[in-house]
Structure 1
Amino acid sequence: MADIPEQDIDPGDAPDTRPPQDARGKPKPRLGSLRALWPFVMRQKGLLVAWLVALAASSTATLSLPLVVRRMIDHGFSGGGNVNATFALVFAVALALAIATAARFFFVSLLGERVVADLRERLYSHLVGLDQAFFERSRSGELVSRLTADTELLRSVVGSTVSVALRSVVMVIGSLAMLVATSPRLAAYTLVGIPLCVLPLVLGGRRLGKISRQSQDRVADANALASETLGAIPTVQAHAREPYERGRFATAIEASVATARRRIGMQALVTAMAISLVFGAITLVLWSGAHDVIDGRLTVGTLSQFVLYAVLGGGSVGALAETWNELQKAAGGMGRIGELLDERPAIAAPARPHALPVPVRGALRFDGVTFHYPSRPDAPALEDFSLQVAPGETVALVGPSGAGKSTVFSMLLRFHDPQSGRIELDGVDIRTLDPAELRGTVALVPQQPAIFASSARDNIRYGRLEASDAELEAAARSAEAHEFLSVLPAGYDEQLGERGARLSGGQQQRIAIARALLKDAPVLLLDEATSALDAQSERAVQQALERLMEGRTTLVIAHRLATVLKADRIVVMDRGRIIAQGTHDELIAQDGLYAELARLQFLD
């Protein structure tokens, strides 16, 4: 049958919104990438407005301080009747500043928490929806680093840096305006120094942004290495490779520290230059103002007011230097997060998905399927693979490693799409289905079951979240799991530990079988669920599997041929092709690859 046109099954190509790439293919860090935060900020309009109001109030109070200080100096010490009122005004302005500053801190910090929480939720939701090809080329440790460390940078940006930056901009503009109003001549001297103060920001900012991105990449590398090693700690310790892994991690940490040292050095240099130039200009202005006071052109209070405004403006320029550095660093983090958000899954629901017939019978058909993994484009994992499985039939897939058995499962679950050919479930091309509906009809019991660090009850209920406790216990009994679960200290509520560390291999398999039983899907995929078990555990698991297979279309990947003798049909695969099929006795009589595999295992 002809393949379905691509436009009928894909929702359409998304426009390429990725930022410009550097020579190594990495996005160039730029402040523009922080614009992607704006939609998340706008979801918190109430907090945003409250923060801006508090910011305006605190800035107004701060800019009012030099005025009341001038009044205090010129009139508060004169001995007249205005002493009490003058000092009361000073305290009132200080109190208003304290309240407004506290409100600004509260609202902007809460805004940062909410924005980062929304961003993390969006990023995680996006990641779990990406296809298997993305995870095959990505390291989980680096993804976790982007989900945690990079979003943590953005928390400080939204919750602090942006507030300081905006406040500093307001203070610089307000201070300049008041400087001109206080003494135009001295203000002219101050304005001459502003370009010199801004210059280090422009020159150092681009370099700092590149180094910040490199620093975050090195941290992600170290996190990925740690995640990989800790996930394989039994293998590490079995080979006594603790010193080797410590050395590798130390090297990765040193690389991250070396890059961080360069970033910190550049940040310190930019900050030092900006502050030196700012306060150098203030000193020059003070020197000129002192002569004006001596000559009677200014009062002491007026000069004090001017100096305070100059200090406020200069300090704000220095703060801008620091916030510029932080913004550059955060832009690198947002660029890394943006890379993930720009990823588009190759496997997606079509615009108008078809529906499966009700009830689903479980008839499977592979028609001329050819598939190459992206990492191995020259070696087909499946080549012109055709297979029909009747509803309720049990078919075993056997063959040497690399024959394509696991790829058949991946294709049926639509983790990948074939380059040619089609796969049908009950006569419907699975590419026309919503992947969620397709996967809802398939239960998988893998060779290495995924056990989550939660209770046994939660692990079994993962097969069908809405299942009742009675249904859950019935599935556990059928899976031969109730007996060992009931004697645990907390029973079904016992925490199983990371990757099921508190259970044996056979117990983990029975949890996975109970999960599949609870799902009650018409199609069952078994990836050699008994290959790593002892004889007693294998017998219990085999009994559970026989109950699970009843009335279901079942595909079994078998490495141990003793487990497939009861299959309705055995399909022998090699290099992505079917080379023989039949019953055990028929395949032995053909004296082909299956007979050779049988002789190697049974020896008799």
Structure 2
Amino acid sequence: MARLSQYLAPYRARFAVAGVALLVAAGCTLAVGQGLKFVVDRGFSAGDADELDRALFALLAIIAAMSVATYVRFYNVSWIGERVTADLRKRVFDHLLTLSPGFFEVTRTGEVISRLTNDTTMLESVIGSSLSMALRNIVLGIGALILLMLTSLKLTLLVLGGLPVVVLPIILFGRRVRRLSRTSQDRVADTGAYVDEAIHEIRTVQAYAHEPQDRRAYGDRVEAAFGAGVRRIRQRALLIGAVIFLVFVAVGIILWIGGHDVLAGRLSAGQLSAFVFYSVIVASSVGAVSEVAGELQRAAGATERLLEILDTPPEIAAPASPSPLPEPPQGTVALEAVTFAYPSRPGDPALSSLSLKVATGERVALVGPSGAGKTTVFQLLLRFYDPQAGRVLIDGVDVRTADPRAVRGRIAVVPQDPVIFAASVWDNVRYGRPDATDAEVRD
């Protein structure tokens, strides 16, 4: 989660506004306890209607201020969540475009899409909601604890004595939730990857009447994702249930001891009311933080999956000082003793010691059966991959020493199976030349 801070840093101003609003809202919430004490001791116990009216109006003013501050906090934190998620999606997509086809050959497309959509959506929820709730409850819990000490030190020591019993389950269950969250996200990615493959190859699926087998296989993956999700939910439920039970048992003990102090005259009814109010705030804060802890662990798992992509270096990249291609283009191509195997089949070379030379103006057709390496030659010319041995030269320059964009700019590609993007016909026609004029597109 620490690396996520670099995406939050540009929005310090909004964080500051949200932080001030959070402190104001928390202060107003804590002031309600003092107002409650005033109402009980000065209004109810003293039987003074004017004091009661003033106390109630003061409470309403505090609640109004708390509502406005809560609005400001919620809006700004939610805005940050949306903005950071958008930035992260763009960053991941930008990086994906720099990765070579070799990465996508060994990484399922559906899993990449799952990370780009599902994992970033989870982070949006955590940053825009859960993180704010955690900070709010931490501030409330600390503030309520201080006011508890000012109200009754003896009862506060009882509360502090029970805190380790509550915190220990949060730590133990939190670690399990993080591990299970990562597993659950991986299983969900498996289902997305299978759907992507089945839909992409739908003609093959239907041609072989393979629908029943694919239904079963997809169902197995969905059930595996369900099972992983249930295991994660079980741990979170145990965490929340254990914390709530322990916290409210402690509140019950405090009420019992505090009630005896009121009867003995050591504590006023208003003080006990305020103490119970602050005890409930502390209990609710601990319970809320324990629940948010599970969400934060899920976010940590999602962050790890996204950072795995961002940490993957491009295998094909321009050197620090790329060799320029000659101008004007000469139109020569040469392969010198090239040996190449795809990343997914390292022990099965697609090309072995292939040498080829095409002179300027010469036309050469590569003919051979499927799997002979015709497509592989063009993928090496476009530098989608680098050969394990030998050299590929365009206009006499080894493509490994040149900028890949410059190399690809020298080659016109007409694919065997035309690709149509989800855009207008106009945009598809000018895809290779975004700067083409309307007249050139028409021609």
Which TM bucket (shorter chain)? Answer: over 0.9
Q: CA deviation at 1:432?
A: 1.4
> Which deviates more from structure 2 when the two are superposed, residues 109-118 or residues 167-176?
167-176
Which 10-residue stretch deviates more, 77-86 or 456-465? 77-86
Give CA deviations for 1:356-413 in whole Å, capped at 9, x if unaligned.
2222121112122222223333332222222111122210111223222211111100
Partner-residue secondary structure (3-state), 2:418? coil
| Aligned partner letter, 2:60 | F
Query: Against the structure 1 CA distance between its residues 110 and 211, is the aligned structure 2 distance closer, same or farther, given a 3 Å change threshold?
Result: same
Q: Relative to 1, partners in 2 of residues 1:450 and 1:390: Cα closer, same or farther, differing over 3 Å?
A: same
Where does the alignment leave 5 or more consecutive residues of structure 1 unmatched? 1-33, 475-604
Which has the higher Rg, Structure 1 or Structure 2? 1
Q: Which residue of 2 aligns with 1:68?
A: 35
Partner of 1:36: 3
| Structure 1 residue 436 displacement after superposition | 1.1
TM-score, length of structure 1 as denominator length: 0.71
Deviates most, 420-429 or 103-112: 420-429
Q: Which amino acid aligns with 1:310?
A: S
Please name the residue that 1:594 is paired with.
none
1:347 and 1:239 map into 2 onto residues whose CA distance is 37
Could you tell me how far 1:80 is from its partner in structure 2? Answer: 5.6
Structure 1 residues 383 and 295, CA, compared in 2 at 3 Å: closer, same or farther? same
Q: Counterpart of 2:126 in structure 1: which amino acid?
A: V
Counterpart residue type for residue 40 of structure 1: Y
Distance across 2 between alignment mates of 1:378 and 1:153: 40
In structure 1, C-alpha distance between the alignment counterparts of 2:31 and 2:228, rounded to whole Å: 43
1:215 matched to 2:184: yes
Deviation at 1:226, TM superposition (A): 1.0
> Is 2:354 the partner of 1:385?
yes
| Conservation of the 8 A alpha-carbon contact between 2:148 and 2:278 | yes
**Matching residue within 85, 103, 107 for 1:116:** 85
Query: Is residue 189 of structure 1 aligned with residue 162 of structure 2?
Result: no
The equivalences for 1:399-410 within 5 A come to 399-410=368-379
Question: Identity rate of aligned residues, in percent?
Answer: 48
Show the 5 A alignment for 1:529-568: none
Residue range with higher mean Cα deviation, 355-364 or 149-158: 355-364
* Map of 2:98 onto structure 1: 129
Alignment partner, residue 448 of structure 1: 417
In the other structure, the counterpart of 2:167 is: 198
Q: Does 1:45 align with 2:12?
A: yes
Q: CA RMSD in A?
A: 1.3
- Asked whether 1:331 is paired with 2:300, we answer yes
- Give me the whole-angstrom Cα distance separating, in 2, the residues matched to 1:36 and 1:426: 44
Following the alignment from structure 1 to structure 2, what is the Cα–Cα distance between the partners of residues 336 and 438? 33
Matches within 5 A, 1:340-359: 340-359=309-328
Counterpart of 1:27 in structure 2 is: none
SS in 2 for 1:383: strand
Q: Which residue of the partner structure matches residue 233 of structure 1? A: 202
- 1:178–1:309 Cα contact (<8 Å) kept: yes
In the comparison of the two structures, how many residue pairs are matched?
441
CA distance in 2, matches of 1:416, 1:236: 30
**Paired residue type of 2:362:** E
Aligned counterparts, 1:138-177, within 5 A = 138-177=107-146
Structure with the bigger percentage of helix: 2
Match of 2:260 in 1: 291
Q: Which residue of 2 aligns with 1:524?
A: none
Q: Where does residue 101 of structure 1 map in the other structure?
A: 70
- TM-score normalised to the size of structure 2? 0.97
- The 5-angstrom pairing of residues 315-330 of structure 1 reads 315-330=284-299
Structure 2 gap segments, 5+ residues each = none
Counterparts of 1:318 and 1:264, CA distance in 2: 16
Contact between 1:289 and 1:303, CA under 8 Å: does it hold in 2? yes
- Secondary structure (helix, strand or coil) at the match of 1:297 reads coil
Verify the 8 A CA contact 1:116 1:155 in the aligned structure 2.
yes
Q: Choose between structure 1 and 2 for higher RCO, CA contacts under 8 A separated by at least 6 residues.
A: 2
- Distance, in Å, in 2 between the alignment partners of 1:91 and 1:76 is 16
CA distance in 2, matches of 1:365, 1:48: 57
The C-alpha deviation readout for 1:113-165, integer Å capped at 9, x for no partner, is: 00001001101111111011101001111110011111111011100111111
Instruction: Please point out which of 193, 216, 227 is paired with 1:258.
Output: 227
1:528 aligned residue = none
* Deviation for aligned residue 1:465: 0.3
C-alpha contact 2:194 2:218 (8 A) present in aligned 1:
yes
